[in-house]
Amino acid sequence: MKKILLGLSTVALLSACSSDPEKLQSANDSYQKSNSPIPSFSPLASGGVNLPQQASTYELPNIAVKKDTAVDIRPPSTPLAIIKNSLTQFDGERALIVYSNEQASLYNLQQIQRLLKEENIDSTINGTVLTTDWHSTGRIDDKANTEIQYQVEQVSAQDASALTVSVKQMRRDGIIFTPSVAEKQRYTSARLNHFVATLTNSYTKQQQDLNNASVGAFQSGLITDINGRTALGMDATFGQAWEKLGSTLPKVGFDIKSETAGRGQRELKYSPLEKENWLRLGVNKPELEKGTYFMQLSAIGKQSAVVITDEENKALSGESAQVVYQAIGALLAK
């Protein structure tokens, strides 16, 4: 008998847990959904006995109850101050986070575009505004075929930067509709929190990789990154590539002036080597001007890539890029 009762309880529990979006969004209020009238009661038959009169003190007023539409019971999300010393807000249209300019190299549109690319979501950047293509909201509590377009803006001031996320458009079954303020808050806040949390976790993991990196020889080759620039792809984690590049770059004329390890950035000063030095690495001397350059290292799992740019943020290209990266690759393999 105990086993039978336990089985019935389990069935009842499973039937109550449903992934139906309608049930996740609204309360299962049987009274509101009922069309049956409010019950009325007839006076008791006295049978000739004088019964005491009913006092009207606690009588409920006889009013018509107007049934309302289904109420969305999902609590709205709020922007979280995940970044240290940051401020967050939802202003009715946008979820935003304000942080120091020193952290803008980690929290910016280029990093967000990279995250979207990893989620197979295409986007375009026009100045300081990123716009995503149509894609699923990714929420199990949404009705089927609900799609969204986000607009992300990066704002910079003298001593602070900000990221804002707003809903550009929403549609369901191909029909565009205007989301309510509560829906805008829910979607923009959740997406902003996802961006910031993912970038923060990646930054923390890179620092841990740097501390635990064991460096040896590894293979590399020329690739094209997501921005269409020539880069050097490496079969190494972020920490391994960072450590090895630190000792390799000076051997091809790039002395390190400053670096920010957690963000994968180095400022370099290039002084041309003699022709013989390049020939020892199996390449000819590149046509590269003396001056300041920058290195940006990025990684996904056990793969990483490095891009070298000049003072105008233009990546090395053509024969110069091929020669420099091949020389670096030859040293990384030793």
The residues, ordered by sequence, that sit 6+ positions from 197 with a Cβ below 8 Å of its Cβ are 80, 82
According to DSSP, the residues that pair with 153 across neighbouring strands are 129, 164
The answer to whether position 128 is within a domain reads yes
The answer to whether position 190 is within a domain reads yes
The answer to whether position 245 is within a domain reads yes
pTM here? 0.59
Q: Which of 158, 198, 192, 179 is nearest to 89 (CA)?
A: 192
CATH of the domain at 163: 3.30.530.50
Residue 308 is predicted with a pLDDT of 95
The answer to whether position 277 is within a domain reads yes
Q: Do 194 and 296 reside in the same domain of the chain?
A: no
How far is it, in rounded angstroms, from Cα 174 to Cα 168? 15
According to DSSP, the residues that pair with 309 across neighbouring strands are 294, 315
Q: Do 152 and 244 reside in the same domain of the chain?
A: no
Q: Do 229 and 206 reside in the same domain of the chain?
A: no
Q: Which domain holds residue 284?
A: 220-333
Q: In this structure, what token pair is assigned to residue 207?
A: 């620092």
SS3 332: helix
The structural domain count of the chain equals 2
Q: Which of 257, 320, 233 is nearest to 284 (CA)?
A: 320
Look at 38 and 266; give whichever has higher pLDDT. Answer: 266
Q: Give the sign of the dihedral formed by CA 233, CA 239, CA 243, CA 244.
A: negative
Q: Do 264 and 184 reside in the same domain of the chain?
A: no
SS3 3: helix
The answer to whether position 193 is within a domain reads yes
The answer to whether position 27 is within a domain reads no
How far is it, in rounded angstroms, from Cα 46 to Cα 104? 84
DSSP class per residue in 201-246: HHHHHHHHHHHH-------EEEEE-TTS-EEEEESS-HHHHHHHHH
How far is it, in rounded angstroms, from Cα 157 to Cα 159? 6
Residue in the block written with tokens 């401020």: 87
How far is it, in rounded angstroms, from Cα 270 to Cα 256? 9
The predicted-structure confidence for 204-231, as pLDDT tens digits, reads as follows 887 777 666 567 788 999 999 888 899 9
Q: Which of 211, 228, 250 is where one domain is finished?
A: 211
Contact 131, 109 (CB under 8 A): no
Residue 91 is predicted with a pLDDT of 94
pLDDT class for 3, splitting at 50, 70, 90?
very low
Q: Choose the weakest-confidence range: 46-55, 95-104, 190-199.
A: 46-55
Residue 250 is predicted with a pLDDT of 93
- Which amino acid, one-letter code, is at 207? Q
- Reply yes or no on whether the pLDDT at 1 is more than 50: no
Residue 217 is predicted with a pLDDT of 85
pLDDT class for 58, splitting at 50, 70, 90?
confident
Q: Do 174 and 235 reside in the same domain of the chain?
A: no
Q: In this structure, what token pair is assigned to residue 134?
A: 């149509």
The answer to whether position 322 is within a domain reads yes
Q: Do 282 and 309 reside in the same domain of the chain?
A: yes
The number of CA neighbours under 13 Å toward the Cβ of 15 is 6
Portion of the chain with pLDDT greater than 70, in percent: 81
Residue 69 is predicted with a pLDDT of 61
Q: Which of 321, 311, 294, 110 is nearest to 233 (CA)?
A: 321
CATH of the domain at 239: 3.30.310.170
Q: Do 286 and 240 reside in the same domain of the chain?
A: yes
Q: Do 191 and 307 reside in the same domain of the chain?
A: no
pLDDT class for 129, splitting at 50, 70, 90?
very high
Write down the mean pLDDT value for the chain.
Answer: 84
The predicted-structure confidence for 7-28, as pLDDT tens digits, reads as follows 444 444 444 455 667 667 766 6
Q: Do 188 and 229 reside in the same domain of the chain?
A: no
Q: Which of 167, 186, 211 is where one domain is finished?
A: 211
Q: Which of 176, 211, 246 is where one domain is finished?
A: 211
DSSP class per residue in 130-198: EEEPPEE---TTSPTTEEEEEEEEEEE-SSEEEEEEEEEEEEETTEEEPPPHHHHHHHHHHHHHHHHHH
**Residue 209: other Cβ atoms inside 10 A:** 18
Q: Do 269 and 190 reside in the same domain of the chain?
A: no
Helices 238-248 and 318-332 cross at an angle (nearest 10°) of: 100
Q: Do 274 and 180 reside in the same domain of the chain?
A: no
The answer to whether position 43 is within a domain reads no
Q: Do 268 and 160 reside in the same domain of the chain?
A: no
